[in-house]
Structure 1
Amino acid sequence: MPPTDASAGTGPGSVPLHPGDTGPWDFRGTGGDGAWGKGAGDTSSFGDGEDTLDLRLPDEFIARFVEPRLAHGLDDLLDQIPTWGPNPTPVGMFQLVPVRLEHDLPLVRRWMHDPAVAPFWELAGAHNQTESHLRAQIDGDGRSTPCLGVLDGTPMSYWEIYRADLDPLARHYPARPHDTGIHLLIGGAADRGRGLGSALLRAVADLVLDRRPACSRVVAEPDLRNTPSVAAFLSAGFRFEAEIDLPGKQAALMIRDRVLRGLM
């Protein structure tokens, strides 16, 4: 998982993810050894082998809700991310564009092999490791969608938008239907240290709430010990809900509520 942008916001109250660090951001949190570790919504394994794909949706659910939407070409579980369109943010016009494996793999692979990123996302090993990580989501049942974040026409970040209520994360907190999780990596060194992190976290969380009317909150799970990361979520309008035990880490459950979005 990615390391960090130098500052978490765009103005006063912005914090570095690690003091003095200008590396890429990963808002999935750190593993038990203090390094950035696998996130709960990741389709790769936790430290104990827990995997998003191991949480199989019941066949009855798929037959009733997923397959009919897929048959009509609709994004089934995340409300048609491809239709969300470009949106203005304080840092420019931003759009989530679902990853096209044949077109975007070289870019995502390059980001994952950045020495500042590789130890944290753990996708820089075998040549096809990044491809397998992306393909598992693209060819999956729709619970997680890998996206490029395109800012003013330029791809500059990698996102995973996932159904937290249908993810192993839901085993560790009182999930509500349609809870939506987010992961973020700011890819290029030129886009780090510009204060993009908190601004984009807030923008994407609000975008999820705008485009997913059934979703009442957006969640994340940074390592509890990483105070700057928790502060970054706070500056992006998330609130601290609870400490939760996840494989490999004690996490801070961070939530951005629909009902509080105008106040935070």
Structure 2
Amino acid sequence: MPPADAPAEPDAAPEEQGSGPGDRETPAAHAGTEDTLDLKLTEELLALISADRNKAARRRDPAGELLGDPATWPGATTEAGVFHLVPVVLERDLAVLSRWMNDPAVAAFWELAGPESVTANHLRPQLEGDGRSLPCLGVLDGTPMSYWEIYRADLDPLARHYPARLHDTGIHLLVGGVGNRGRGVGTTLLRAVADLVLDNLPRCGRVVAEPDLRNTPSVSAFLSAGFRFSAEVDLPDKRAALMIRDRTYRDHL
């Protein structure tokens, strides 16, 4: 289960800050242009990354029983732009992710401030694991601007705290691009990622998240993205709002 917590996004809230290891739709106040220019992704690079990650995913999870590979998922066309989930490559992405984690607004909730090794130690168990948790960059119109973790909630410690169902899939996120705050992008992307999960994981019936109950902007963002408030749950590091997006809701939109 992921770290501490972060605010999210009501209509006029300071900024989307979210659902993460604690609550991670968090903004990174110091993540400016220098964080993204060197990570601009072309379609060719996206294809190369996808091919490389496909090989790794087949080695870890040959039958695709866990989460498959988000690199193969199509982009989502949203009102904010075309959005892709791109699996993290440690050597390429560590510097920018560590920079985001060291922003005070992010560090208060993700608790990953410090040298790059701190962020690397958080990422490696996911990158080298069996595929039950996948760290991804959120790439909007070719520019990385957010960090996501897509994980099997039914195989996570979270499942000890709610009546989990087989193939429940959880999400954590933080918004790192300074130009993407305060204009509803967090809610837009939450909706898009939940739809991507349900569209590409046919056995998943629900997408879940567990923002801190006190983080009303984050809870509001999930509600606006089509999640429903299911219950209050006591987790080791917080009292959380269990948010659920049901496939039945998605299929009847």
Instruction: Spell out, residue by residue over 1:176-228, the C-alpha distance to the aligned partner (whole angstroms, 9 max, x if none).
Output: 01000000100022221121011100010011000000000000011223222
Which of 65, 68, 81 lines up with 1:79 in the alignment?
A: 68
1:108-119 superposed matches below 5 A: 108-119=97-108
- Partner of 1:142, secondary structure, is coil
Within the candidate set 188, 192, 215, 1:199 is matched to 188
**Count of aligned pairs between the two proteins:** 219
Return the structure number with greater helix share: 2
Are the structure 2 counterparts of residues 174 and 90 from structure 1 closer, same or farther at C-alpha, using a change threshold of 3 Å? same
Counterpart residue identity of residue 112, structure 2: L
Find 2:18's aligned residue among 11, 20, 26.
26
1:240 equivalent among 226, 229, 235: 229
Q: Is the 8 A contact 1:3 1:26 kept in 2?
A: yes
1:224-263 residue CA offsets vs partner (Å, 9 max, x unmatched):
2322221211110000111111112221111000001255
Distance in 2, Cα, partners of 1:75 & 1:134 = 21
Secondary structure of the structure 1 residue equivalent to 2:145: strand
- Between 1:212-221 and 1:253-262, the stretch displaced more is 253-262
> What is the TM-score when the length of structure 1 is the normalising length?
0.76
Runs (5+) with no aligned partner, structure 1? 9-13, 31-35, 38-66
Preserved contact between residue 2 and residue 185 of structure 1 (Cα < 8 Å): no
242 and 123 in structure 1: CA distance in 2 versus 1, 3 angstrom threshold: same
The percentage of aligned residue pairs carrying the same residue is 63
Report 1:43-58 matches (<5 A): none
Over residues 47-100 of structure 1, what are the superposed CA-to-partner deviations in whole Å (9 max), with x where a residue is unaligned? xxxxxxxxxxxxxxxxxxxx9942786755102211003221121100000000
CA contact (8 A) 1:3 1:117 kept: yes
Give 1:164 deviation, angstroms: 0.1
Could you tell me whether the CA contact under 8 Å between 1:2 and 1:184 is conserved in 2?
Answer: no
Distance 2:249 2:226 in 1: 9
Instruction: Say if 2:181 is the partner of 1:189.
Output: no
Report the equivalent of 1:219: 208
Change (3 A) 1:123 1:74: farther
Residue 173 of structure 1 pairs with residue 162 of structure 2: yes
C-alpha change, 1:72 and 1:241, in structure 2 (3 Å) is closer
The aligned amino acid for 2:231 is A
Q: Structure 2-normalised TM-score?
A: 0.79
Q: Which runs of 5+ in 2 are unaligned?
A: 25-55
RMSD after superposition: 2.4
Counterpart for residue 142 of structure 2: 153
Show the counterpart of 1:58. none
CA contact (8 A) 2:19 2:173 kept: yes
Deviates more, 1:222-231 or 1:247-256: 222-231
Which one of 77, 85, 93 corresponds to residue 88 of structure 1? Answer: 77
Tell me the distance in 1 between the aligned counterparts of 2:230 and 2:124.
32
User: Which amino acid is the alignment partner of residue 176 of structure 1?
Assistant: R
